[in-house]
Amino acid sequence: MASVESLQYVSGLFRFHGEIESNAEQTTNLIWRADMPRNLWRSFIHPVMAYFRRKRFARLLRLEPELLSGRILDLGGSVHFWEKVGIDPAKHDITLLNVAADGQSTNTKGEDVAARIILYDGVTIPWPEGYFDWVLCNSVIEYVQPQQRQRFCSEIHRVGRRLVVQTPAFAFPIEPHFVMPFLHWLPRSVGRRMARFGL
């Protein structure tokens, strides 16, 4: 049977090098485990998400055409979000603030650009009152512990003159973090077990 190293992802197809057992189920499982989630994410899901993010951001810019001329804090921000909407944060006054240099600090090619993200303690935003013209908080508040959400919202309001706080719509049938239908509608104990099957 082929090892993981013998698989090569080429133009949306898997190309094999060496012997593969004829058992189709084993071959399918090997392909899925080896490279499918990462490449499926980058080749299909990222472009779909990028399309909807560009559309949503274009709507925001129509409503607030001066947004990019102001000082912006992207709280919980990611480099790949700005790439997907076609904006280079370095060309605008955009500060990305996060609690860890993790997947949010990678671009859409998977390259780590953590130097563009400022880290903080997740509690007190380290700027004075009203410092930012805009605070954008895109799909972050759902990660904040319920007992800490009031303080989180107070901090956003303290440092920003105008706010855009967005979270995934509970009514939408696809859970966007794991790209699984109905996952967020299940009881948490079941959902946690099912999440390992998501992308």
- The DSSP-derived string for 62-73 is HH-TTGGGS-EE
Q: Select the CATH number that applies to the domain covering 43-166 from these four: 2.130.10.10, 3.10.105.10, 3.40.50.150, 3.90.230.10.
A: 3.40.50.150
What is the tens place of the pLDDT at every residue in 129-171? Answer: 999 999 999 888 888 889 999 999 999 999 999 999 988 888 8
Angle subtended at Cα 45 by Cα 15 and Cα 83, rounded to the nearest 5 degrees: 110
d(CA 55, CA 141): 21
| Residues listed for the chain | 199
Assign 119 a pLDDT band (cuts: 50, 70, 90).
confident
* pLDDT above 90: residue 32: no
Q: How confident is the model at residue 41 (pLDDT cuts 50, 70, 90)?
A: low
**pLDDT tens per residue, range 62-113:** 999 999 999 999 999 888 788 888 888 888 999 999 888 776 656 556 665 5
Cite the residue boundaries of each domain of the chain with CATH code 3.40.50.150: 43-166
Cβ-based neighbours of 15, under 8 Å, separated by 6 or more? 7, 8, 9
